[in-house]
Chain A
Amino acid sequence: MKTESVLEKVLTSGQLAVTSECGPPRGALPDKVREKAAMLKGYVDGINVTDNQTAMVRMSSLAACIIIREMGLDPILQMVTRDRNRLAMQSDIIGAYAFGINTMLCLSGDHPKFGDHPMAANVYDLDSVQLIQTVKQMREEGIFQGGDKILNPPQMFIGAAANPFADPFELRVARLAKKINAGVDFVQTQCIYNLDKFEKWMEGICDRGLDKKVYIMPGITPMKSAGMARYMKNRVPGMDVPDEVVKRMAGVPKEKQAQEGVDIAVESIERLKNVKGVHGFHIMAIEWEQIVPEIVKRSGLYPRPEL
């Protein structure tokens, strides 16, 4: 074991892990964070806390992680390299670890253009791969990116994102290999609706033996409506929603669409469970956290292991 992370414990035990996500509120509302996290209690091994997701200002991921940690749960600190330079990021990592937060996700983040401050300076002192490298170096060598020694270095279990559907497709395996070279421990993917293409990506990963070096957790997002399916298909960069999925959602009456979305999510999990190299699931129910327990239960992933 590299860290005290519960997620690491579940993954190394060989059982399928489950994580979910909680987007912090757009204001100083700690109870909102508690409410969302409480819905996930007992159903997941880690709760990702997003960092100014879609480049919109929200309560900081670190603050929301602390609130969740104080509830006795296991937050996963998401960190984008868009908003802060290497000094700020490293000090937040130390701060997080000081509160017992031991799992994080290194991301580059959406461009500010998509958010509520398109006029903001775009930092990118590091990119996501370099952030992975930095956190690894903090953990293994006990030094800062700048080279100085850290007192009680943070032992973070290091995650990254992967999008099997972005272009160029031929680079998607190589890009994961690069993150592995940088020191990533687990990977959560973009929402998977195109299962065939995901399986093709996983094949490429297994062919190179990369599945032995990193734990891969496909992203699952239940769709609430046919409108959401269409929006994700046409509007979200790097998202691959096949026509059959949109058709299936549109094929049931409006009031039954949410149920259909949950069914699709459960069926996807059932199918992907058997794919070589899949070690768990990252269930992102965007502003729909209350549905996560049902998905976890119906997918046979409940109860979560006590480790």
Chain B
Amino acid sequence: MITAERKPLEEIIECIRPYDRILLVGCNECVTVCAAGGRKEVGLLASALRMAFMKEGRTLEITELTLERQCDPEYVEELVTMIDAADAVLSMACGCGVQEVARRYKNKPVYPAVNTKFMGASVSQGVWAERCQGCGDCILGLTGGICPVARCSKRLLNGPCGGSTSGKCEISDDVECAWQLIWDRMKELGIQDRYEEVMVAKDWRTSRDGGPRKIVREDLA
């Protein structure tokens, strides 16, 4: 899923300071799962903002709404009845959701209330970690199911580098060395002999380097 974290309250307040009426929109998908921008977080942020404005002697009118999926035009359409009553939209969805609102409601300012972080998985209660960079040409089949592009700090395709120490990455004791994990898994699978095959330079065109990407499915279009 896509993970996100709420921005600091002060930063959000600065964004919406010029407005009196805010439409605060959450999303029921990824940001709900990672507890950054679902219904609950929308409620919490709304009260925090009201309080902060009250302290400044102002009243902030906030309409709260959590859409099923903010990156989907069908659901973003639901805002149509309330958009005119707001001076600005504050979105708690990932960057995709924020942009979908901006695309649909052309003359309404929209501000992100979260920082979209990465595509990751849940590691334990309250902990998420990066797993995929969407390189567009998946090589997990060659690396024992562990992604060096997303999980090696230098995205080495022929790691590990000389800084790998006791299973940890040279950048921090908190980061596992992806290549230690790959090697352990290769051993587990009995495919160690594949390690010495050189992984050739990657074609990054399928990744962000090839320009903004798009999928067109003729069969569905």
Q: Which residues of B contact A (CB under 8 A)?
A: 153-167, 170-172, 177, 180, 183, 192, 195-201, 204
Instruction: Tell yes or no: A111 within 8 A of B by CB.
Output: yes
Within 97-121 of A, Cβ neighbours of B (below 8 Å) are at 108-111, 113
- Asked if B180 and A110 make an inter-chain contact with CB atoms under 8 angstroms apart, the answer reads no
Within 160-213 of A, Cβ neighbours of B (below 8 Å) are at 161-163, 166-168, 171, 174-175, 177-178, 181-182, 190
- Asked if A181 and B195 make an inter-chain contact with CB atoms under 8 angstroms apart, the answer reads no
CB neighbours (8 Å) of B195 from chain A are 171, 174, 178
A134 to B201, CA, bound (A): 9
A129 to B192, CA, bound (A): 18
A166-B162, A166-B165, A167-B167 known; 12 new pairs, CB 8 Å cut-off, are A82-B154, A108-B161, A113-B171, A122-B153, A127-B157, A161-B162, A166-B163, A168-B180, A171-B183, A178-B195, A238-B162, A238-B170
CB neighbours (8 Å) of A168 from chain B are 160, 164, 180, 183
Instruction: Tell yes or no: A58 within 8 A of B by CB.
Output: no
A218 CB to closest chain B CB (Å) equals: 14
Q: Is the interface of B mostly helix, strand, loop or mixed?
A: loop
Determine which of B163, B180, B192, B200 lies in contact with A237 in the assembled complex, contact meaning CB atoms within 8 Å.
B163
How many positions in chain A have a CB within 8 Å of any CB in the partner chain? 34
- Asked if B164 and A167 make an inter-chain contact with CB atoms under 8 angstroms apart, the answer reads yes
- Asked if B163 and A86 make an inter-chain contact with CB atoms under 8 angstroms apart, the answer reads no
A86 to B203, CA, bound (A): 11
CB neighbours (8 Å) of A166 from chain B are 160-165
A166 to B177, CA, bound (A): 12
CB neighbours (8 Å) of B167 from chain A are 167
CB neighbours (8 Å) of B192 from chain A are 174
- Asked if B201 and A145 make an inter-chain contact with CB atoms under 8 angstroms apart, the answer reads yes
Most chain B CB inside 10 Å of its own CB: which residue of A122, A181, A237: A237
CB neighbours (8 Å) of A124 from chain B are 154-156
CB neighbours (8 Å) of B164 from chain A are 166-168, 238
- Asked if A111 and B158 make an inter-chain contact with CB atoms under 8 angstroms apart, the answer reads no
B188 CB to closest chain A CB (Å) equals: 13
CB neighbours (8 Å) of B157 from chain A are 127, 129-130
Give 10 CB contacts A-B under 8 Å: A82-B154, A113-B171, A124-B155, A130-B158, A130-B201, A167-B164, A167-B167, A171-B183, A178-B198, A181-B198
CB neighbours (8 Å) of A130 from chain B are 157-158, 198-201
> What is the chain A residue whose CB lies nearest that of B148?
A127
CB neighbours (8 Å) of B153 from chain A are 111, 113, 122
Within 125-154 of A, Cβ neighbours of B (below 8 Å) are at 125-130, 133-134, 145
Determine which of A109, A113, A177 lies in contact with B196 in the assembled complex, contact meaning CB atoms within 8 Å.
A177
